[in-house]
Structures are given as structure tokens and as C-alpha cells.
Structure 1
Amino acid sequence: MGNPVTRIDRARVALNMKNAGNKYVNTKENVFSLARGRAQYNVATICLIYNATGDTITLRRHFHKWGKFESSSYPRNIPNGQWAAFLYGEASWPDRPAFLHGESYWARPIGPESETAVLYRGKNEAGQECDWLFAWSSPCKAYTEIKEVYYFKNRWNEIGDKLDNSDLTKQDEWNGCLSYASIESTDEFPVFEAILTLKNA
């Protein structure tokens, strides 16, 4: 009957197949096409997230320092081996309050841009739940960090500081989990990409 398929096996296959069948190219082109059709709404960032953890990951929290969705909201669930894509837009001063679960305040006036973070929960090789955080800003900075569940609950200001001091690329490793984040400028829109996977995949 052979050996059972493990979480690492599923993660490894997903990681090796992230560009298979042109799914990366097609996903990216589809979201670019959507952005081009909504250029009048000041699309700030094209976002792509790939799950290669061996299991479905689930959205747990999100934070907008300023900015707004230009397409559907963050994907709530991303199956293993799938790209998720969405548009994120800029908000212009002074109409850009920051908010987190109903608490609002005003962001600093430094011109049109966006800054946000998302938190997805998945499992490491041993089946322990872990939280993968990704953050980005436009102009271009990217940040990622992995910790135990609920670690990021009251750390949004700290995350913002880390993002401010980050660069175009960032990776993290924690408890058998890996994350990669990058952002690049193109002739049309900044593109943020994130990959979640496991150390031994």
C-alpha cells in the first residue's frame, strides 16, 4: 500500500508546482487585466499569495493603516497548491483613516499610498498551528514574520515599524515554517508576492 502521504509531501508537491500549467502567469495576468480596467480607482498594489504548506490556510486578521480594496476582500481560505490574487488601492490624504476592528485614527500625511497587513493561519510539519504575517506598502516595501497563534494580536504598531524599516524582499523561518515576501515596481502597478511553505518541503 506504500507510505501515507504526509503534510511535507503535499507541501513539496505544491512548491514544485507553483508555476505549473502557467497558473502563476495566468493568475498574474488576470489580476493585471482587472487592475487596468479599474485604473481610475487608483489601484496601488497587485497582490498574489501562494500556499505551499500542505493544508488549506485561513485568514485570521487584517489591518489597514490606509488604503482600500479595489476588488474582492482578502481570500478567506487558500487551498494548498493555489495562488490567491486581489487588488489593493491607495487612499489620498486626508480621507484615509486607519482602522482595526472599529478603532479609527488618522494616518500621517505623506502622500497617496497604501499600507496593510494580513495574517493567515496554517500548520507546521507536526500539525501545530502557526500564524504567517505578510505586510506591504506602496511605495515598495515588504515584510513577513511567522509566530505562534495570537502572537500578533496587539502588535500592529510594531509591525508597522518593521515594515517601515524593511526593503523589497523579506523572508522568515520559525518552528519549521517558511515565508517569503517581495514587492516590485512595474511600468503599471507595484506587485506584492508572498509564499507560505514548510522548511523541509
Structure 2
Amino acid sequence: MSEELVLTDVQRDALKEIGNICAGNAATVLSQLLNRKITIDVPRILIVPIEQVPNVVGGAETMVAGLVLRVFGDIPNTIVFIFSQRDAKVLSSFMTGKTMTESKVITDIERSALKEVGLILANAYLGALSSFVGLGMVPAAPELILDMAGAIVDYILIELSCQSEYALLIESEFTEPSASVKGHFFIIPDPSGLEAMLTAIDKR
């Protein structure tokens, strides 16, 4: 089990600033795309041991929707957006403009909308992070996984051969005039990536 990572006050403040900048970027992009005001608040940002990720989103057996993207560049990493399945349907309705149905089944149209918003959010968040730390990162196309939270983490660690011990969590709350959505945005850097990011923060 990974030990809790102790951050300096400077690193902690910088991560909060990064989270707010990322959310601001993403909200601007979504608002322009959808032609209506979208706000994204960041209640908390922290670094958690990778094995605690399922607990953060409600438990290992909680059914969730996960958008998984590999990221290449100066800090290779994996991005994971995790939403409850209901909130995933609400978020997809933001994109499609259609009223959300009560069915628990996520349709092909909703899947496409979620993948689109996943790539938009990844580019917005990574763009802000790249500018802040001065390191380039580019996301690949997202994969949508509907499964238990624990299974998604296992997929990242096993199928993607991820060796990370820690994940950077940017908790995000999306709001538009008629609805709100809570999501968990995790950046899971390759082993040397987290050190590189924190070193870049220290040099600012």
C-alpha cells in the first residue's frame, strides 16, 4: 500500500491554482460550444494513493462511468474522468440538448457525447496544466468504460500497464441553468511524472 504523499504548502497552493485554472478553461470551452453558461467548481484537489481511488468515488463496487485517456508528452500519464451513471447521462444531455431519460442504459448517442466531452475536458485541463508547469501533454482518444470503480482502476493498472502509485484528483462540479453534475477527474502520472510535475511547480 502506498504511503500518503506529503506536499509542501507551496505545492498544495499551486495544485489548488491549477485545479481552478483547469476548471475555468473547461467551463469556457463548454460554454462556447453549447452556447449557454456552464460553470465548473473545484471543491477540492489532492493527491491520493492509487488504491484509494475507488473509495473516493463511492467504493470499489460502485457502478460508474469512466472515461479513460492515455496522455503522451513530457509527463506521460493516464487521465480518468469518473461519474455516477446517472450524472454521466445528465452530462451527455448537456452535449446533445436532449432531455435525459430515466433509463439506466447509456445509449450509443450518449456514449458518443460522453467521449466528445471527455476529449474536450482533457484538452482544456491539460492545456491549463501544461501552461502552468511548462511541460507539454497531448491526450489520445477516450475510451468509455461502464463498470465498478474497482474494475476501472484494475484496468488502468493491468491493461494499460500503469505503474503509478498516486493520482492527482481534481474534484469537479458542473452546473448549467437546469442541472448539475459531480465528477472526479484523476491524472495518474507515470512513476517519474509526478516528481517532474512537482519539481516544475517548485521552480515557478
TM-score normalised by structure 2 residue count:
0.30
TM-score normalised by structure 1 residue count:
0.30
Higher normalized contact order (CA 8 Å, seq sep 6+, divided by chain length): 2
Q: Which has the larger radius of gyration?
A: 1
Higher helix share: 2
